[in-house]
């Protein structure tokens, strides 16, 4: 491994590569993923809005959109699903 990298070649861990391929492309926009990440600790919408520099209504829209794309019934489930796929 060290010799491979030292020689200027790249090394990709096979397990990480398999996980990345299995996860597929994220259906989330960058902003939806960002808002979900802000919501991961259970923060209220007002706090998420402050962290993301968005209005509370915009945060609710992003959370709803992300949950719908992931087939989640709420933002907490959406965060859990997105994390399990490596999307946030």
Q: What is the pLDDT of residues 17-67, one digit of tens each?
A: 655 555 568 899 999 999 999 999 999 999 999 999 999 999 999 999 999
Q: Closest Cα to residue 39, out of 85, 87, 86, 80?
A: 80
Q: What is the mean pLDDT of residues 67-85?
A: 94
Q: Closest Cα to residue 70, out of 29, 40, 41, 17?
A: 29
In this prediction, residue 10 carries a pLDDT of: 81
pTM of the complete model: 0.71
CATH for 27-84, options being 2.40.30.10, 1.20.120.530, 2.40.50.140, 1.10.10.10? 1.10.10.10
Quote the DSSP letter at residue 41. Answer: T
* Contact status, residue 63 vs residue 39, Cβ threshold 8 Å: yes
């Amino acid at each position: 491994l060290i010799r491979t990298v030292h020689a200027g070649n790249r090394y990709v861990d096979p397990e990480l590569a398999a996980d990345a391929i299995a996860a597929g492309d994220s259906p989330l926009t960058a902003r939806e993923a960002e808002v979900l990440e802000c919501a991961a600790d259970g923060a209220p919408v007002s706090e998420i809005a402050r962290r993301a520099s968005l209005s509370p209504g915009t945060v609710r829209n992003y959370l709803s959109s992300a949950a719908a794309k992931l087939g989640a019934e709420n933002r907490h489930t959406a965060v859990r699903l997105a994390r399990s796929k490596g999307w946030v």
